[in-house]
Amino acid sequence: MKGRFVIGTRRSRLALWQAGHVKSRLEALHPDVGVELLPMSTRGDELLEATLAQAGGKGLFVKELEAALADGRADLIVHSMKDVPVELPEGFTLAAITERGDARDVFVSGRYASIAELPPGSVLGTSSLRRQAQILERYPALTVRPLRGNLDTRLAKLDRGEYAAIVLAAAGLARLGLSARVRSVLTVDESLPAAGQAALGIECLSARAEVMALVAPLADSATTACVRAERAVNRALGGNCAIPLGAYAELHGSTIRLRALVASPDGRRIARAEAEGDASGPEPLGHRVAELLRQRGAAEILAALSP
């Protein structure tokens, strides 16, 4: 394969790392191919005062990049899969989902070693209603406040003393060589990850068969099956970032174990469900877990969140 391909990416250091990682892998697989990065600013990067739910959702990180695909400035774009809306616009497709990193959340603080050590009333920062709900369920005496901005900005806010501690994704810190900032790792039982967390997705136009062929070797079958199951839960429940929803799947042989939850933002109501299914049918498994969640109170929680 020969030619020149452009990867559209957000400008944050983490997004540039992720796009650069894909670029390096493509160049190693296809020595005759030229790959360039097109860094872009998105509305999600610019609107830092409101929470994602208030500002319009995680799709704010995607729309400008998809516009670059549509008008030919970019041939493919790289996302954190947890930022990708469950429904893509017509004419766009996820061409590959790469091997997942560490999907867990982590606790970061200059003074405290774990959430359990935080005194009552301590201010903990997180960008995620999903994390907020799970933290408040176990530690209702804490004060959880929104934390926006890229990874470096969030760490700077912590270091300035605006928060006693913050909760971040393990994979992002690892990718930027910042794992030393982690004080403790939250287990999946303590903080169920977001659908797609720690996996990268590569999006292109559905009509670009040559781009899909270019990136196909980067797809990881195990991660793809798990993320498809997780996203199916999200899709079945009308998922967006205004819903505190976690979904995490693990592959054991040919079987997927899928866990999911829906919560009220204050953590007072949480519906949990899990099931196992064949890896060849991740979407039906996701739909089954979504139905279990509805039976266990998710419908009422979601109704209370509706405007």
Residues involved in catalysis: 83
Give burial (CB, 10 Å; 0-12/13-18/19+) of 90: exposed
The 3-state secondary structure of 51-116, one letter per residue: CHHHHCCHHHHCHHHHHHHHCCCCCEEEEEHHHCCCCCCCCEEEEEECCCCCCCEEEECCCCCCHH
DSSP one-letter code for 151: H
Using CA of residue 121, residue 167, residue 261, residue 246, what is the dihedral sign?
positive
Dihedral sign (CA 15, 21, 27, 29): negative
- Confirm if 190 and 101 have CB atoms less than 8 A apart: no
Determine the straight-line distance between the first and last CA of the chain, rounded to whole angstroms: 51
8 backbone dihedrals φ, ψ, rounded to 5°: -80, 140
